[in-house]
Amino acid sequence: MEIPSNWWWREQVADPAACAIFDMDGVLSDATGRQHLLTWPRRDWDAFFAAAGSDTVFGDTATMLDLLAASLQIVLVTARPISIRSDTTDWLARHEITYDLLVMRPDMDRRASSAYKKTAVDELRSFGFDPRIAFEDDVRNVEMFRSRGVPCVYIHSGYYD
Ligand SMILES: [Mg+2]
């Protein structure tokens, strides 16, 4: 089976195993300073994503990730587009966030975040990953994970009120 083109391993290709899934914006990265770029009716997604490198980290969820990394692989599943992959991996390195695999949204994928992430869960499973828990700040994604049998912890970012 061919590895999906929107997957990046941090160091090396790991044998897929039990994993924890973390979202990025609103869960690991604090996007509060750029949320105004998505204010209707002038939603500027390009500017929103271009500013992602200056986010601060949410220390509480980063600590949770570190604790889980002792026993599970860490898979980051973000709806950020592939086009900001290097900004994203630089940010993760700068904040010393451990992960095994980063999954980003293909640039041509215009579906709702929950549809894209549902595909991501199915692909992870088909490669042998066993998602044990997920962390999300978008209730639509929380519901999607739970509907796929993945327990999901809701993190309140306030971005979706
Ligand atoms: Mg999010």
Largest Cα–Cα distance of the chain, in whole Å? 45
Q: How far is the CA of 152 from the centre of ligand 1 (A)?
A: 13
| pLDDT 10s digits, 89-140 | 999 999 999 999 999 999 889 999 999 999 999 999 999 999 999 999 999 9
Q: How far is the CA of 28 from the centre of ligand 1 (A)?
A: 8
Q: How far apart are CA 70 and CA 72, in angstroms?
A: 6
- At the top level of CATH, the class of 7-154 is alpha beta
pLDDT for residue 33: 86
Q: How far is the CA of 138 from the centre of ligand 1 (A)?
A: 6
Q: How far is the CA of 26 from the centre of ligand 1 (A)?
A: 5
Q: How far apart are CA 69 and CA 80, in angstroms?
A: 22
Read off the pTM.
0.93
Q: How far is the CA of 24 from the centre of ligand 1 (A)?
A: 6
